[in-house]
Amino acid sequence: MALTITDVRAICTAPQGIPLVVVRVETSDAGLYGVGCATYTQRWMTVACEIEHYMKPLLIGKDPTRIEDIWQTVTVSPYWRNGPVLNNALSGVDEALWDIAGKRAGLPVYELLGGKVREAVRVYRHADGRTMQEVGDRVQAFMEDGVQVVRVQFGGYGGNGGERQHLDNMKPDGACPGAYYDPLTYQLSVVELFAAMRERFGYNLELCHDVHEHLEPTEAIRLAKELEPFRLFFLEDALSPEQGAWFRQMRQQTCTPLAMGELFNNPTEYLPLIQDRLIDYVRCHVSQIGGITPAKKLAHVCEAFGVRTAWHGPGDVSPIGHVANLHLDLSSWNFGIQEWAGLTPELEDVFPGCPELRRGYVYVNDKPGLGIDIDEKLASKFPCSEALPTWTNCRRPDGTLQRP
């Protein structure tokens, strides 16, 4: 009897307090199923609705071995395409189909993608802190654990300005409540932070930083130039996707390596930056672009233009999504670095088969498929909060809304 898809389900869970969405695809072969990451944490209920109400009826009865055809079918089914909700739901299905393909073949997914080009995946860790001392102490702890690449930030994105913060005196009367950030304080404090880190640790360590689209184009260019002496591994999201055309000016003026892309949904956003060699690292969030199928194609396009991959790996990717990143990393020659937010014991319990971090490298297990699963009973003990995100609505001192 032909193999068919018999069910498609969304599983929502928040073992770390961060809503995660996972898709489970069942097949007519009893016991053969796959799992994939569909996490769009800020709108997790919308993604779950897309999966339950649209993907399920669209996919039941289809052949799960036809990964490419299903990817194309899901993409155009709603006619309007490439949005974050649809792409994340599609990623959940796509990754689950790769998991099924690996289980059928008895091979880990990285072998289906071309096989290992390295034994393990080099990662970068996050050293955030309120003061130079705090950030530095975190960097030191990572170095002692053998980590070779560290991202340094003051506070949240856009910083709290470290010791320089004086925001409360800058707001007009009647300012809205909520998060605030000052571009000048931020720019000055980042340069001071890097100077302090290089003074404390020297240059035998790779450092990166995430601007998180907090600057105006010329401010971003100036920052990239001012950071040159500190020899960054990369400067991330120096511009918003809407201002991507400014990368041309930035590229002409600075040798600081540039990474961009966690906010991209649509190939038309990233292709011009790649084909014109305006960035060094593509940072797409794999579920946000639709899963392993488009990510592998993107990696190949990048290879032709000398751009490397640095897939987004923050806390709001499920361990299944992290593993999908790792299978791509292991099998892509033009892999650059993998962001590694780290896994808590709760996550490791809910997702059996989690990868392991040892001395700055992450290792996947070699089980067939993605090699990871979700314990649904345990997952149900960590319900997702329906609260709206607040950090995405941050303001400049005069009250103007800032891009996150």
Paired with 362 in beta bridges are: 121, 357
Q: Which is nearer to ligand GCO, 74 or 89 (CB)?
A: 89
Q: Could you say whether residue 99 binds Mg ion (CB under 5 A)? A: no
**Of residues 245-264, those binding ligand GCO (CB under 6 A):** 262
**Of residues 205-234, those binding ligand GCO (CB under 6 A):** 210, 212
Return the CA Rg of the chain: 21
Residue (of 272, 295, 268) closest to 284 by Cα position: 295
Question: Looking up tokens 């450092």, which residue turns up?
Answer: 207
Q: Could you say whether residue 94 binds Mg ion (CB under 5 A)? A: no
Q: Could you say whether residue 309 binds ligand GCO (CB under 6 A)? A: no
| Count of residues of this chain found to bind ligand GCO when the rule CB under 6 A is applied | 8
Paired with 236 in beta bridges are: 210, 259
Structure letter (DSSP) for residue 371: S
Which partner in Mg ion, ligand GCO, none is near 314 (CB below 5 to 8 A by kind)? Answer: ligand GCO
Question: Looking up tokens 């530095």, which residue turns up?
Answer: 136
Structural tokens at position 37 = 């990451």
Would you please indicate which residues are annotated as catalytic (active-site) residues?
157, 212
Residues in the chain: 404
Q: Which is nearer to ligand GCO, 125 or 296 (CB)?
A: 125
Q: Could you say whether residue 210 binds Mg ion (CB under 5 A)? A: yes
From the list 48-56, 114-122, 289-297, 310-318, the region that binds ligand GCO by CB under 6 A is 310-318
Paired with 108 in beta bridges are: 369
Question: How far, in Å, CA of 299 to CA of 166, rounded?
Answer: 43
Which partner in Mg ion, ligand GCO, none is near 83 (CB below 5 to 8 A by kind)? Answer: none
Q: Could you say whether residue 339 binds Mg ion (CB under 5 A)? A: no
Question: How far, in Å, CA of 157 to CA of 184, rounded?
Answer: 14
Which partner in ligand GCO, Mg ion, none is near 26 (CB below 5 to 8 A by kind)? Answer: none
Q: Could you say whether residue 314 binds ligand GCO (CB under 6 A)? A: yes
Question: How far, in Å, CA of 293 to CA of 289, rounded?
Answer: 9
Q: Which is nearer to ligand GCO, 50 or 316 (CB)?
A: 316
Which partner in Mg ion, ligand GCO, none is near 41 (CB below 5 to 8 A by kind)? Answer: ligand GCO
Which is it for the CA torsion 165, 169, 173, 177, positive or negative? positive
Q: Could you say whether residue 213 binds Mg ion (CB under 5 A)? A: no
Structure letter (DSSP) for residue 228: G
Structural tokens at position 78 = 């709603």
Output the residue with the shortest Cβ distance to ligand GCO.
Answer: 314
From the list 122-130, 160-168, 207-215, 324-332, the region that binds Mg ion by CB under 5 A is 207-215
- Rounded to a whole number of angstroms, the distance between the first and last alpha carbons of the chain is 51
Paired with 358 in beta bridges are: 361
* Helical H segments across 106-131, by residue range: 109-112
Q: Which of 50, 329, 339, 373 is the binder for ligand GCO (CB under 6 A)?
A: 339
CB of 218 to ligand GCO, least distance (A): 22
**Of residues 74-113, those binding ligand GCO (CB under 6 A):** none
Question: Looking up tokens 């993907």, which residue turns up?
Answer: 55
Q: Could you say whether residue 41 binds ligand GCO (CB under 6 A)? A: yes
Question: Looking up tokens 């995100």, which residue turns up?
Answer: 389
Q: Could you say whether residue 316 binds ligand GCO (CB under 6 A)? A: yes
Question: Which residue ranges make up the site for ligand GCO (CB under 6 A)?
Answer: 41, 210, 212, 262, 312, 314, 316, 339
Question: Which residue ranges make up the site for Mg ion (CB under 5 A)?
Answer: 210, 262
